[in-house]
Amino acid sequence: MDVPPPNLLSPHEPYMLRALAEAQVAFEEKEVPVGAVVVHDGRVIASAHNQREQLNDPTAHAEIVAITQAAESLGSWRLLDCTLYVTLEPCPMCAGAIVQARIPNVVYGTDDPKAGACHSLYQITDDPRLNHQCNVLGGVLQPECAGILREFFAVQRAAGKK
């Protein structure tokens, strides 16, 4: 059996690194640092980060913004043959949007024990009662994805916020 070199990235890591770069932009904008990218045929067609504070919009999660961009890019609300990469496990709202957009694959960085809707609290993305299910893989670059969130909330607590 061939063993890959230890520095060889998994095929998901380059895209998750792009999502982490978006999360860093959110951090700098004082938004909860979550980033997302949508990939179609090996090409990033959407890239976004949380913008709830900036837009005063409770639905402006990274996933929702990226899904909207991807639909525009493809000219269809059906995001078939796409993979959504997101640094934090999607919440119920985002998981519902993933199902509605027919996204077949979701890759996320770190679990969300308070609002996760793919594995942690709910399993919306693979609920057989819904008209679409998707494959979900968690834990890609988990330490990095969890770390940026920890750092953000530590900064917020030190400033007397959140």
Q: Give the count of alpha carbons within 13 A of 142, CB side only.
A: 7
Catalytic residue among 22, 31, 63, 89: 63
Alpha-carbon distance of 1 to 45, in angstroms, equals 36
Alpha-carbon distance of 108 to 104, in angstroms, equals 14
- Is residue 63 annotated as part of the catalytic site, yes or no? yes
Alpha-carbon distance of 33 to 28, in angstroms, equals 8
Other C-beta atoms closer than 10 Å to the C-beta of 4 total 8
CA dihedral defined by 121, 125, 128, 129, rounded to 10 degrees?
80
Whose tokens are 């940026």? That residue is 148
Find residue 66's DSSP bridge partners. none
Catalytic residues: 63
